[in-house]
Amino acid sequence: MDLSAGAVIAGVLTAASFAGALRSAFLANRDLEKSHDETLEDRLHRLGSTMTEASKLLAQVEAELSARAATAKRLKREAEQAEAAAALNQKEREAVAEMLRTEIVTEGRRSFRASLLANLLFFIAGAAVSVLVALLIT
């Protein structure tokens, strides 16, 4: 886009802004003149309608805030439950790990005894064979 196209776009946007401002001023002036033509009863009726609408909006906002507060409390409670479950799971993991360590130590002792017994039997068998061979040779 060259400089002249940018200037044209800026001019169009400025004109649109100016037209919007003129329209707003015209509508504000029209509303001001209209309020002078209204009777006191008309203005009071309009005020009552506005107050009723404001009351309805306030009730809706209060209901929304109450709903959000309830949701926040529920989410907080769920988060606390999740943390408690995670802590419980941590305790369970630690208990299982301890149980496995105990089982491994017990199994290690058992396998050591079995291995020692097997080695002793092979030693005795080897010694007996050695003695027999020595007797047969002499």
Helix and strand totals (H; E) in the chain: 2, 0
Contact 35, 43 (CB under 8 A): yes
pTM: 0.39
For residues 80 and 134, give the distance between their C-alpha atoms in angstroms, rounded to a whole number: 80
- The least confident of 6-15, 35-44, 63-72, 83-92 is 6-15
Tell me: pLDDT of 5 over 60. no
Query: What is the structure's pLDDT at 74?
Result: 93
Interval 50-65: pLDDT, tens: 999 988 889 899 999 9
What is the domain partition of the chain in residue ranges? 38-137
Span 97-135, pLDDT tens digits: 888 888 888 888 888 888 888 888 888 988 888 888 888
Q: d(Cα 28, Cα 23) in Å, to the nearest integer?
A: 9
